[in-house]
Amino acid sequence: MNEDPAQIPGRIRELREIMEISAMDMAADIKVPLETYVKYESGEADIPISVLYHIAGRLGSNVTVLMTGEDPRMESAAVCRRGKGVMVERFPGYEYSSLAYNFKGRTMEPLLVLLDSSRPTGQISHFGQEFNFVVEGKMKVTVDRTEYILVAGDSIYFDATLPHNQSAVGGSALFIAVIQEEKQ
């Protein structure tokens, strides 16, 4: 299932307006500068998955609703068949597929991520913790100022509040990322 990431900001804006929450209040509630939030909602800036969690929580919604426009349906187990995850290309060189999009009330977000060498190299940080497991290829993971080179079968677990970045080395890399949110 491919999703157009350009639809996500519109869904957020629509839900926020229905709930009569100002952009300023939303930005304060999810702890991002107003300017950043406005860029998220206008589509000028990519919204990190961890921020989507906070936005969904503030809106009393689910990340799946923001990503697909549909509610998750499964409560005890959700199977995601090969190639059937919710696929989002955030920007050239970085696309991910949500592997548990159909599970209600999930507390972590497992993603299948494909990187290529054209991915921007800036560092990000977000709430919670993150786990990466390399399935194919070779990648560099930078956490704070330390660089780690990982190959297929390697993994890394880190504090996602630290500035971090993943980049493909020598072509492309396929990895599983699991983002665990800390309760605020």
Give yes or no for residue 155 having a pLDDT over 90: yes
Q: To the nearest 10°, the Cα dihedral for 92, 126, 169, 149?
A: -170
What residue ranges define each of the domains in the chain, with the CATH number in brackets?
Answer: 7-68 (1.10.260.40), 107-180 (2.60.120.10)
Rounded mean pLDDT of 71-91? 80
Mean pLDDT of the chain: 86
C-alpha distances in angstroms, 114 versus 54, 138, 167? Answer: 24, 11, 10
Q: Name residue 54's amino acid.
A: H
Give yes or no for residue 184 having a pLDDT over 50: no
The dihedral through the CA atoms of 72, 73, 74, 78 has a sign that is negative
In the chain, % of residues over pLDDT 70: 91
Judge contact between 98 and 130, C-beta under 8 A: no
Give yes or no for residue 157 having a pLDDT over 90: yes
**37-59, pLDDT tens digit by residue?**
999 999 888 887 778 888 988 99
**103-140, pLDDT tens digit by residue?**
888 888 899 999 988 766 678 887 789 999 999 999 99
Distance, in Å, from the CA atom of 125 to the CA atom of 27, rounded to the nearest integer, reads 16
